Structure 1
Amino acid sequence: MGSPRVVIIGAGIVGANLADELTARGWDQITVVDQGPLPLTGGSTSHAPGLVFQTNASKTMTEFARYTVEKFVGMDVDGEWCFSRLGGLEVATTLERLADLHRKQGWATSWGIEGTVLDPQECVKLHPLIDESQILGGLYVPTDGLAKASRAVVALARRSEARGAVFRGLTKVTGIEQGNGRVTGVATSNGVIPADIVVSCAGFWGPNIGAMVGMNVPLLPLAHQYAKTDQIPELVGRNSELAEAGFPILRHQDHDLYYREHGDRLGIGTYAHRPMPVSLRDLEESDAVSACDMPSMLPFTGEDFAPSWEQSRRLLPSLESAKIDTGFNGVFSFTPDGGPLVGESADVAGFWIAEAVWVTHSAGVARAVAQLLVDGRSEIELHGCDVHRFEEIQLAPDYVSETSQQNFVEIYDVLHPLQPRVSPRNLRVSPFHARQRELGAVFLESGGWERPHWFEANASLLEYLPEEWTPPARDAWSAKFHSPIAAVEAWRTRTAVAMYDMTPLRRLEISGRGASSLLDHLTTGKMDKSIGSVTYTLALDHAGGVRSDLTVTRLSADTFQVGANGNLDLDYFRRQMPGDGSVQIRDITGGTCCIGLWGPRARDLVQALSSDDFSNESFKYFRSKNARIAGVPVTAMRLSYVGELGWELYTSADNGLRLWDVLWQEGHQYGVIAAGRAAFNSLRMEKGYRAWGTDMTTEHNPYEAGLGFAVRRQKEEFVGRMALEGVGDATVTRRLACLRVDDGRSVVLGQEPVFLDGRPAGYVTSAAFGHTVGAPIAYAWLPASAAPGTPVEIQYFDRRVAATVVAEPLVDPEMKRIKA
């Protein structure tokens, strides 16, 4: 049996890369169609300036970019280069930017990219057009450079065609043929092309293609200015027509600018102008596309460019006598969170998208999609790219438009890891929101949810905070979006009782006669337990990577409540449902709410309000039962993510406010407080609890992540079991390790590189100040040989922070508190 028939829509840099990756894996029935002429189709690829800066806060995006560089370096078209490794230079004109370049150099080190922060003199040696007096330093990455995107498309197409792929230009897609819930073909202006798999790589046209199968593609086309100067005397004679450029590609992010040479001229790109959304209805489709005339190149608006031209002349004095020769407003794709959109339709099997992908990441994304199609999984984890990561509220056109425009505005801004959106806000609030506001909650936002990080009402408790709980002062960066009030909230959780709003955590109800079997197949734990049992378990992929961690509660013989990590879990479970109707899956998050009631006085508080027995003998750890608290019906689950005695108390949304009020009123005599995510994160790390997507992903197996205890090896079958044969705690070569910072003061925030014996050896995942242990703590991926007691260093901006690998958990390793 031959390979599937694949139709790729879009012959730009993503579609051409995907055809190459699929044919390289032996798939030979590949057709690539584009409404424009070949090879210059008129999409974003056709006018892309081609600057490839690899370093990104995201490990995944950096890996994509690195693969793009590695792939393109080895390609040419008739001896002409597809990638020129000129190096990349990002300069700082402010102290804030210089500090950020040190942080970015840390990311590069974490992800295995060589980079160095240089002084002004060294920057000018590399790029003599820069005015040394204007800059404070720069980040130089020698493997960055220029991709000749239009030429790379030709090279990729030739290679794919040599392996059997067919490219068809001037072929407009008019519809997606379907049958029995699957794609069967692509209707075009030149007839129907049969297909088993369709992948839309249509770029900013992607929403139109997605609409053909009812798929929401949350992408906004925006225009971005690019101009070329006339001849620059300092560049005359430096570059040949073929070489084009000799200086490193250059970014001046303090003013949203970037630069590259075009022979003896300079190209200037800017994001400093107002966002310019583009309606696809207004774009002209054209059969006659040229290098200076295509649908994605809109007329240049000189008034928008004027401030950028002024700043460019300050940085590069050679431009003082120059003029703008040509310019255009080029159309690119932006998304609500800045990430690409990759995935298969939830409703039409075989219809995939790979959209909002820039040249920098094109080959990496294409390889990942090819691996998904051929092997069933990508070697690089994709949760930040999966189109199904968005919540329903985030797919609204107004939301996509506003947030995508904001991403355009902030593209070169120095952003803190905790920095929340300013707008839109208050999209999703729990039933407790009004009470939280009365208590002075400081809200950050995630997935549209308002989530309290601390409560100003607890500030008055700072004067009672014991000295050993008083945290040291923080540096300005780690103090952003933080408050010492978090220490109070951690203290009262450990010594009295606190109420945490756990409503935003995703809750799924999986029911039906086949529910137990489905969950048993998809998770590492035993599901056929007694009613009322709670199981912490993992969902793995077929290679044994951690797809998610879950809390599964058996509510009845055929009903389970699953505490999940987000929309990706819902999408996964729905795809795995049997087709015989034996399983039903409901997302019950919005109709329910949850209070985490935790601390040594939690039992006293809840028992005072209930005639149900909450004693240790009657209500064991990791059990669940239905109860009433002051008349409010709840599902109480005895588990705790902060490592203290207590319960997750679930009720319907209409009963939520009453539940909060009765607990709050009764709780005063037990010292109850409301507590937020800052304290929660510190406490869960002290207890050694992992956060999926931060501490571990599909790139890690359970034993590496310290979660081998959640794998029930006695089970005959579950997804990923075969991959774990022969794998165990003793065989892993890397491990998620707990670190304690030696000086007791230096708080890091995550993604920093960790050095072992002076060499980069891993990176930080989660970090916090451990209020109970009185020191900053972090989790980091390190070689398994880094046993407790091993000294390491964490690079924090431009300095090294000494830390020590320690045994975990740091708090209550005997589980006496949580099982009290």
Structure 2
Amino acid sequence: MTPPSKARVVIIGGGVIGCSVAYHLVKQGWTDVVLLERKQLTSGTTWHAAGLIAQLRATENMTRLAKYSQELYGKLEAETEVATGFRRCGSITVALTEERKEEIYRQASMARAFGVEVEEISPSEVKSRYEYLNTDGVVAGVYLPLDGQGDPANIALALAKGARMGGAKVMERVKVTGLQKAGQRVTGVEWQSADGTGVIECDHVVNCGGMWGHELGRMAGVNVPLHACEHFYIVTDNVSGLPHMPVLRVPDECAYYKEDAGKILLGAFEPNAKPWAMNGIPEDFEFDQLPEDFDHFEPILEAAVNRLPILAEVGIHTFFNGPESFTPDDAYHLGLAPEMDNVWVAAGFNSIGIQSAGGAGMALAEWMNTGEKPFDLGDVDISRMQPFQGNRTYLYERSKETLGLLYADHFPYRQKATARGIRRSPLHEHLKASGAVFGEFAGWERANWFADEGQEREYRYTWKRQNWFENSKREHMTIRENVGIYDMSSFGKIRIEGPDAEPFLNYVAGGDYSVPVGKIVYTQLLNKQGGIEADVTVTRLSETVYLVVTPAATRLADETWLRRHVGDYRVVITDVTSGEAVLAVMGPNSRKLLEAVSPNDFTNATNPFGTAQDIEIGMGLARAHRVTYVGELGWELYVSSDMAAHVFETLQEAGQELGAKLCGLHMMDSCRIEKGFRHFGHDITCEDHILEAGLGFAVKRDKPDFIGREAVLRKREEGLQRRLVQFRLKDPEPLLYHAEPILRNGEVVGFLSSGNYGHTLGSAMGLGYVPCPGESPDQLLSSSFEIEVAGVRCEAEASLKPFYDPKSERVKV
């Protein structure tokens, strides 16, 4: 069969995700769907996947997608008459350390918040459910009865058949050789097969290329950061009388076990992985295995023989080594590529492709059909990837670590160890010399805390108070009581200029930008549902120029959103992030420090809160923005990169008399949680309505036309269905991070979107949404609230106003 000359969409790649996208597009009513597979369906990674299908993921929406996959696979066989092998066998995860026990118990609490059935079980209960397990050293387990497993290849083939039944053309042995482009769109897909060559004109292209996804992305001018790694497992000979058993995970030994047609499959996620195909995947790769490396696998097997003694009694039927692709952050890539207007990506599934493919295909198909995300997909949205992350050397180095991180301890604040030092502030060496301990964020090396003299400059991870807890507390109190200095150069900085800059911003964002030069507007970019696409500040630099300041990780996504809404507005949008460093000077004595180094006037009369002014500082120049994310009097100083070191040295020297202290970004997060400031991506996302997030003050409803206006007005008429509430634990000991269940009058009603420790207030704090349709604030707050931490319910106070400085008097003194 020859490919057609035209199609609405061409899907490239016939693994489980490509088949899922095709299946779900025809369910959306798309008819001209073409899927091209270079060899045979499933011949890349899908055919040798383990087929574990778990429900619980790290966030609510990722869990929603995994649960959808399960439900789909459960009914797919009846629809297509292709056996998927899906069955709910349950899963058990065991802990061999107290730290891992806390992790899996926290995960169990999170599961309850997400509506996943879960049970904490003792070692003896683990043994009763998995008789072959040696429970020596097992301290606890968690059982999810509705987890399952399936036949990966047949699931993909069932999806492909379902797509064909809906009219899609699924074509094997047709290789994509090139893409024809016009501006920001792909207009044609060039192909080659045994029957010849040709071009398919198309409206959309979907990159489902798996480990070929990076190469396909480059063909389209799109960045798809992923790299293949070797992935090992063994399958035993038949075990006489082997019953159906749950999937067993022993993450402390980097191992998982699955009953497989009367055999036991043992798979590994070893801490030091082996990247593969640095110079490209062989042209003839099809259902291929990689060379055995028993020495590499031996430490896993040795621990496994102790954990499942039966492995010493049965032979090894298969030693398998096959490639799978991994992304820099272990989250897959989904969505519309930032560089193009009709190139979509669904690739890089990090060994969870089978459990993710159903939901990911559904979400992408809905997004393609409506033009808007069906719900928050920020965890996996391809626009989160930074351009440099497509660098091959970077991917090679990072992939050595990311495979093993799937089963490593998921400690809070855990930092990546590989591929570091790529993006550095102009102040990096100054901070390093002063004791900074760096974390990595969107490739930036950022000072997270400062070590004392003689203290080790590294993280010691635990679920309790980590080794930097007291350091960060002192930095926190410096901000609250005196003055602190910290580096925010990683801020994304987007310059918008042109004769239509003002009307453009008034259309694309919720605030009012018809303001004097020097005015700073805190604002959100909204979607049509009133959800929050970005949380930014906008500063008017001149009549025709504005500066949009964004979080480091969302700079590309925010810039892309702005560009896609330019329309006929006469504006130029430029990323100027690297042009300016940013030094924050915050605290009650911040004005004194600035007055010591600058002749400019920092009083309320000249420089009130929410305004910027050009200043002299030392022998240099800067722009002082009077804003705060820590809830204190303070300024962000924007300094050209060439003068940043001088300004830093000037501030540091002058600050000695005041007792100023260098601070890290852990401090910033603990200060903002006390003040109830929202964190984008956690507390506010594209599916969180701006009014329910408590940010209605930032929206100017009387503007005649802006994206989301109708949704804002409608919500005001209908009333809020839920509210973002701040919580403070009454017990000072427990720690909060995120996703801990919120209980109202004894019933789980939600979960924390973010959490941290409030050092000024003396206990852990968090933010989270609570359903309250038709209720007044007093009705809501009259309830009894608890937060569940690792299975333990902790009493909590609740407030709709910030616990710290509720009237914001401190920032305006």
- What TM-score do you get using the length of structure 2 for normalisation? 0.92
Where 1:307 maps in the other structure, the secondary structure is helix
| 3-state DSSP of counterpart to 1:613 | coil
Counterpart check, 1:149 vs 2:144: no
Name stretches of at least 5 consecutive residues in structure 2 with no aligned partner.
1-5
For 2:451 and 2:496, the matched residues in 1 are separated by 39
Q: Write out aligned runs for 1:568-647 (5 A).
A: 568-578=557-567, 582-647=570-635
Q: 2:470 aligns with which of 476, 484, 492?
A: 484
| 530-539 or 507-516: bigger deviation | 507-516
Between the aligned partners of 2:699 and 2:17, the Cα distance in structure 1 is: 38
Give the whole-Å Cα distance in 2 for the aligned partners of 1:347 and 1:544: 25
Which of the numbers 129, 133, 148 marks the counterpart of 1:130?
Answer: 133
Show the 5 A alignment for 1:396-407.
396-407=391-402
> Is 1:768 matched up with 2:756?
yes
Judge which range, 683-692 or 329-338, deviates more: 683-692
C-alpha distance in structure 2 between counterparts of 1:775 and 1:299, whole Å: 54
The offset of 1:713, in angstroms, is 0.9
Of 183, 187, 190, which aligns to 2:190? 187
> What's 1:467 paired with?
none
Q: In the aligned structure 1, how far is the partner of 2:751 from the partner of 2:273? A: 35
Cα distance, 1:348–1:773 mapped onto 2, change above 3 Å: closer
In structure 2, what is the equivalent of residue 654 of structure 1? 642
SS at match of 2:689: coil
Q: Which runs of 5+ in 1 are unaligned?
A: 239-245, 461-473
Does the CA contact (< 8 Å) of 1:273 and 1:304 recur in 2? Answer: no
User: Which letter maps to 1:744?
Assistant: P
Task: Give runs of aligned pairs for residues 171-250 of structure 1, distance below 5 A.
Answer: 171-190=174-193, 191-235=198-242, 238=243, 246-250=244-248
Partners of 1:4 and 1:187 in 2: how far apart?
Answer: 13
Alignment partner of 1:216: what SS? coil
C-alpha distance in structure 1 between counterparts of 2:608 and 2:642, whole Å: 28
> What residue is the counterpart of 2:680 in the other structure?
692
Change (3 A) 1:729 1:106: farther
Asked if structure 1 preserves the Cα contact closer than 8 Å seen for 2:20 and 2:357, the reply is yes
1:75 and 1:82 in contact (8 A); partners too: no
How big is the shift at 1:132? 3.7
1:73-121 Cα distance to aligned partner (Å, 9 max, x none) = 1110537345211111112233332222112212212322111111122
Aligned-pair CA distance for 1:337:
0.4
Aligned to 1:454: 449
How far apart are residue 718 of structure 1 and its match? Answer: 1.4
Within-5 A mapping of 1:344-423 = 344-357=336-349, 358-423=353-418
Secondary structure of the residue aligned to 1:150 is helix
8 Å Cα contact 1:274/1:304 also seen in 2: no
Shift of 1:813: 2.1
Q: Secondary structure at the match of 1:543?
A: coil
Q: What is the Cα deviation at residue 759 of structure 1?
A: 2.4
Comparing 219-228 with 486-495, greater Cα deviation is found at: 486-495
Paired residue secondary structure (1:383): coil
Equivalent pair of 1:598/1:646 in contact (CA under 8 Å): yes
Tell me the equivalent position of 1:78: 81
Q: 1:773 to 1:305 in 2, by over 3 A?
A: closer
Tell me the SS of whatever aligns to 2:578.
Answer: coil
What amino acid does structure 2 have at the position aligned with 1:168?
M
User: How much has 1:656 moved relative to structure 2?
Assistant: 0.8
Tell me whether 180-189 or 79-88 shows the greater mean CA deviation.
79-88
Relative distance call for 1:722 and 1:313 in structure 2 (3 A) is same
Give the match for residue 724 of structure 2.
736
2:783 is aligned, of 790, 799, 814, to: 790
Determine the C-alpha separation between the residues in 2 that align with 1:180 and 1:640.
Answer: 40
Aligned to 1:444: 439
Work out whether 1:306 is the aligned partner of 2:298: yes
1:43 and 1:283, CA in 2 relative to 1: closer, same or farther beyond 3 A? Answer: same
Structure 1 residues 349-380: Cα deviation after superposition (integer angstroms, max 9, x where no partner) = 31221111211111111112112211122223
SS at match of 1:500: strand
Distance in structure 2 (CA, Å) of the matches to 1:453 and 1:282: 37
CA contact (8 A) 2:39 2:173 kept: yes
- Determine which of 82, 91, 103 is the counterpart of 2:106: 103
Cα pair 2:412 2:463 within 8 Å, conserved? no
Q: 1:4 to 1:756 in 2, by over 3 A?
A: farther
Deviation at 1:28, TM superposition (A): 0.7
Check conservation: 2:16, 2:42, Cα contact below 8 A: no
What CA distance in whole angstroms lies between the structure 2 residues aligned with 1:118 and 1:802? Answer: 25
User: d(CA) in 2 for partners of 1:529 and 1:816?
Assistant: 24
Q: Which moved more, 1:257-266 or 1:343-352?
A: 343-352
Query: Which whole-Å CA distance do the structure 2 matches of 1:459 and 1:279 have between them?
Result: 44
> Residue 484 of structure 1: SS of its match in structure 2?
helix
SS at match of 1:478: coil
Q: After TM superposition, list the pairs within 5 Å mapping 1:268-283 onto structure 2.
A: 268-272=266-270, 274-279=272-277, 283=281
Q: Which amino acid aligns with 1:490?
A: H
Corresponding residue number in structure 2 for 1:493:
479
Residue 3 (structure 2) aligns with: none
Q: Given the superposition, is the C-alpha separation of residues 318 and 108 from structure 1 closer, same or farther in structure 2, using an over 3 Å criterion? A: same
Measured after TM superposition, the shift of residue 284 of structure 1 is 4.6
Structure 2 CA distance for aligned equivalents of residues 110 and 369 of structure 1: 25
Residue 802 (structure 2) aligns with? 809
SS at match of 2:473: helix
Pairing partner for 1:543 from 499, 509, 529: 529
Deviations 1:130-180, CA, capped at 9 Å, x for gaps? 234453332111111012222222222222222211111111111112234
Do the aligned residues in 2 keep the contact of 1:505 with 1:563 (CA within 8 Å)?
yes
The code of the aligned residue for 1:365 comes to A
Whether the aligned pair in 1 keeps the contact of 2:270 and 2:403 (CA below 8 Å) is no
1:330 pairs with 2:325: no
Shift of 1:559: 0.6
Q: What are the Cα deviations for residues 721-774 of structure 1, in whole angstroms up to 9, with x where unaligned?
A: 222332139822222111111123322222212222222211112222222223
Secondary structure class of the residue paired with 1:548: strand
Letter aligned with residue 751 of structure 2: Y
Provide closer, same or farther for how the CA distance between residues 330 and 433 of structure 1 changes in structure 2, counting only shifts above 3 A: same
Kept after mapping to 1: 8 A contact 2:73/2:86: yes
Question: Between the two proteins, what is the percent identity of the paired residues?
Answer: 32
CA contact (8 A) 2:103 2:463 kept: no
Show the counterpart of 1:94.
97
Q: Is the CA contact (8 Å cut-off) linking 1:419 and 1:481 kept in structure 2?
A: no
Change (3 A) 1:100 1:556: same
Letter in 1 for 2:120: V
Amino acid paired to 1:808: K
Deviations 1:451-487, CA, capped at 9 Å, x for gaps = 2223235999xxxxxxxxxxxxx99523125321222
Q: For structure 1, which segment, 780-789 or 799-808, has the greater mean C-alpha deviation from structure 2 after superposition?
A: 780-789
* Deviation string, structure 1 residues 421-471 (Cα, Å, up to 9, x no partner): 2233332222322332232222222122222223235999xxxxxxxxxxx
In the TM superposition, residue 42 of structure 1 has moved relative to its aligned partner by 0.8
Count of residue correspondences = 787
Contact 1:134/1:315 (8 A) holds in 2 = no
In structure 2, give the amino acid aligned to 1:8. I
| Kept after mapping to 2: 8 A contact 1:53/1:360 | yes
Look up the equivalent residue of 1:83 and give its one-letter code. F
Change beyond 3 A, Cα 1:318–1:364: same
1:329–1:524 Cα change, 3 Å? same
TM-score (norm 1): 0.92
**Kept in 1: contact 2:531–2:688 (CA 8 A):** yes
2:53 maps to 52
CA distance in 1, matches of 2:462, 2:164: 56
Q: 2 CA distance for matches of 1:264 and 1:220?
A: 33
Contact 2:271 2:408 (8 Å CA) reproduced: no
Cα displacement string for residues 271-297 of structure 1 (whole angstroms, at most 9, x for unaligned residues): 23752222176645559x6xxxx13x3
Find the aligned partners of 1:650 and 1:729 in 2 and give their Cα distance. 41
- Residue type at the aligned position of 2:219: M
